[in-house]
Structure 1
Amino acid sequence: MPKPEMEFWDPFLAEESNWTPIDGVPGLAEFVLAKDEQTGSVTRLLRFEPGCDSGPMGVQRHDFWEEVLIYSGAIHDTTLGTTFSAGQYACRPPGMAHGPWLAPQGCVTFEVRTFER
């Protein structure tokens, strides 16, 4: 089984230690919910603390599919000059440019990153 089997649970009640800071971006952290160790595919929460600026990472392009649902708050794409808020969804094919992001009031996203074999 690629990802672990688990029944419903509330990740927002989990310990703060489950969040791992993203190197190079103060105020940005991930909480990996499930990971396929064979492919690297991962389901995670990404948390932008209020005032977080992912500018140091620059524009992002990945070699995998990425689906993102904004769970709470909002993020502003500085390249597009557009703000996206809770309830909005993106599906990005490999190579699609996105970001960098500002999160003045903070934001939490639910993400599925799929690596093809």
Structure 2
Amino acid sequence: MSKPELEFHLHTGPWAAPEGAAPGVAERVLAEDASGGCRTVLQRWDLGTDTSGRGVARHEFWEEVYILEGALHDLTLDETFGRGAYACRPPGMPHGPWTAAEGVTMLVITYPGSAPG
């Protein structure tokens, strides 16, 4: 499992809705391994995106998120996180749901792991 070797470049790949994502969510893959186990993406949420219909999220992989611009409002914590905020979520960690009243763009890195227990 390894990502491709890439030197600095301007990435112009397409924005696409990730499988199972809420309406208004799109991502641009920057790098990923052939198995899809490790990924680095830019993810953007349109103005007004709301994931509350999907409830709290949990997944079986590590996820690191860095907010580049805009903000997310965590409905469970009733707290808003803006530019420069960072999250590191181990497998199984509950998070969200979220709203993005004015939209948000994030750098998201995922890699395999297993949930505790």
Q: Tell whether the structures are fold-level matches, with TM greater than 0.5.
A: yes
Matches within 5 A, 1:1-117: 2-11=2-11, 14=12, 18-22=14-18, 23=20, 25-38=22-35, 40-116=37-113
Q: CA distance change for structure 1 residues 111 and 33 in 2, over 3 Å: closer, same or farther?
A: same
Alpha-carbon shift at residue 24 of structure 1 (Å): 5.2
Query: In the TM superposition, what whole-angstrom CA distance separates every residue of 1:61-96 from its partner, at most 9, and x where no partner exists?
Result: 111111000011000011110100000111111111
**Structure 2 stretches lacking a partner, 5+ long:** none
Structure 1: distance between partners of 2:42 and 2:51: 16
Given that 2:70 and 2:104 are in contact with CA atoms closer than 8 Å, whether structure 1 keeps it comes out as yes
How well do the aligned residues superpose, as a CA RMSD in angstroms?
A: 1.8
Structure 2: distance between partners of 1:25 and 1:65: 20
Q: CA distance change for structure 1 residues 24 and 5 in 2, over 3 Å: closer, same or farther?
A: closer
Given that 1:61 and 1:95 are in contact with CA atoms closer than 8 Å, whether structure 2 keeps it comes out as yes
Report the TM-score when normalising by structure 2: 0.87
Count of matched residue pairs: 113
Q: Secondary structure at 1:56's aligned position in 2?
A: helix
Structure 2: distance between partners of 1:82 and 1:10: 33
Task: Percent identity, please.
Answer: 48
Where has structure 1 moved over 4 Å in runs of 4 or more?
Answer: none
Give the partner amino acid of 1:3.
Answer: K
**Structure 1 stretches lacking a partner, 5+ long:** none
Which one has a larger percent helix, Structure 1 or Structure 2?
A: 1
Report the TM-score when normalising by structure 1: 0.87
